[in-house]
Structure 1
Amino acid sequence: MRSTVSQFTLPDLLSACPLQDATNPWYKEAAAESRAWINSYDIFTDRKRAFFIQGSNELLCSHVYHYAGYEQFRTCCDFVNLLFVIDEISDDQNGRDAYATGRIFVEVMNDPRWDDGSILAKITREFRERFIRLAGPNTVRRFTALCTSYTDCVAKEAELREHDEVLGLEEFMELRRQNSAVLLCYSLVEYILGIDLPDSVFDDPAFSKAYWAAADLVCWSNDVYSYDMEQAKGCAGNNVVTVLMEENSMSLQEASDRVGDQFKSLMREYLESKSQLSPDLPPEAFRYIEALGSWVIGNLAWSFETQRYFGANHERVKETGVVHLRLPSRFLEDSCSDSESDSE
Structure 2
Amino acid sequence: MPPSTTQFTIPDLLSICPLKDSTNPWYKQAAAESRAWINSYNIFTDRKRAFFIQGSNELLCSHVYAYAGYEQLRTTCDFVNLLFVIDEISDDQSGAGARATGRTYVEAMKDPKWDDGSILATITHEFRERFVRLAGPNNLRRFIELCERYTECVAIEAELREEGEVLSLEEYMPLRRNNSAVLLCFSLVEYILGIDLPDDVYEDPDFSEAYLAACDFVCWSNDVYSYDMEQSKGHTGNNIVTVLMNERGLSLQEASDCVGKVCESQMQQYLNARSRLSSSGAPRDAVRYIEALGYWMVGNLVWSFETTRYFGADHLRVLESRVVYLRPRDRFLVEDGDSSDTASDSE
Short-chain TM bin: over 0.9
- Output the CA distance in 1 between the equivalents of 2:88 and 2:266: 31
Residue 280 of structure 1 pairs with residue 265 of structure 2: no
CA contact (8 A) 1:2 1:234 kept: no
CA contact (8 A) 1:2 1:231 kept: no
Per the TM alignment, residue 59 of structure 1 is displaced from its structure 2 partner at its CA by 0.3
The aligned residue for residue 326 of structure 1 is: 327
The aligned residue for residue 313 of structure 1 is: 314
After superposition, the Cα gap between the structure-2 partners of 1:114 and 1:3, relative to the gap in structure 1 and judged at 3 Å, is farther
- Output the CA distance in 2 between the equivalents of 1:188 and 1:3: 42
- Output the CA distance in 1 between the equivalents of 2:262 and 2:237: 19
The count of aligned residue pairs is 344
The aligned residue for residue 61 of structure 2 is: 61
Residue 255 of structure 1 pairs with residue 255 of structure 2: yes
CA contact (8 A) 1:223 1:240 kept: yes
CA contact (8 A) 1:75 1:130 kept: yes
Unaligned runs of 5+ in 1: none
Aligned pairs for 1:1-344 (under 5 A) are 4-277=4-277, 279-329=280-330, 331-332=333-334, 333=336, 335-344=338-347
CA contact (8 A) 1:304 1:315 kept: yes
Please give the root-mean-square deviation of Cα atoms over the aligned residues, in Å.
1.1
Per the TM alignment, residue 337 of structure 1 is displaced from its structure 2 partner at its CA by 3.4
User: Aligned partner of 2:341: which letter?
Assistant: D
After superposition, the Cα gap between the structure-2 partners of 1:3 and 1:34, relative to the gap in structure 1 and judged at 3 Å, is farther
Task: Give per-residue Cα distances to partners, 1:21-61, cap 9 Å, x unaligned.
Answer: 00000000000000000000000011111110000000000
- Output the CA distance in 1 between the equivalents of 2:252 and 2:339: 20
- Output the CA distance in 1 between the equivalents of 2:38 and 2:228: 28
Moved more, 29-38 or 90-99: 90-99
- Output the CA distance in 2 between the equivalents of 1:334 and 1:300: 27
User: Aligned partner of 2:317: which letter?
Assistant: R
Q: Secondary structure in 1 aligned to 2:8?
A: strand
CA contact (8 A) 2:84 2:343 kept: no
- Output the CA distance in 1 between the equivalents of 2:262 and 2:327: 26
- Output the CA distance in 1 between the equivalents of 2:317 and 2:3: 22
Per the TM alignment, residue 2 of structure 1 is displaced from its structure 2 partner at its CA by 7.2
Per the TM alignment, residue 89 of structure 1 is displaced from its structure 2 partner at its CA by 1.1
User: Aligned partner of 2:342: which letter?
Assistant: S
- Output the CA distance in 2 between the equivalents of 1:261 and 1:96: 37
Per the TM alignment, residue 4 of structure 1 is displaced from its structure 2 partner at its CA by 3.7
CA contact (8 A) 2:91 2:337 kept: no
CA contact (8 A) 1:150 1:179 kept: yes
Instruction: Report percent identity of matched pairs.
Output: 72
Per the TM alignment, residue 280 of structure 1 is displaced from its structure 2 partner at its CA by 3.1
After superposition, the Cα gap between the structure-2 partners of 1:287 and 1:196, relative to the gap in structure 1 and judged at 3 Å, is same
- Output the CA distance in 1 between the equivalents of 2:337 and 2:269: 36
Q: Using structure 1 for the length normalisation, give the TM-score.
A: 0.98
- Output the CA distance in 2 between the equivalents of 1:249 and 1:3: 15
Unaligned runs of 5+ in 2: none
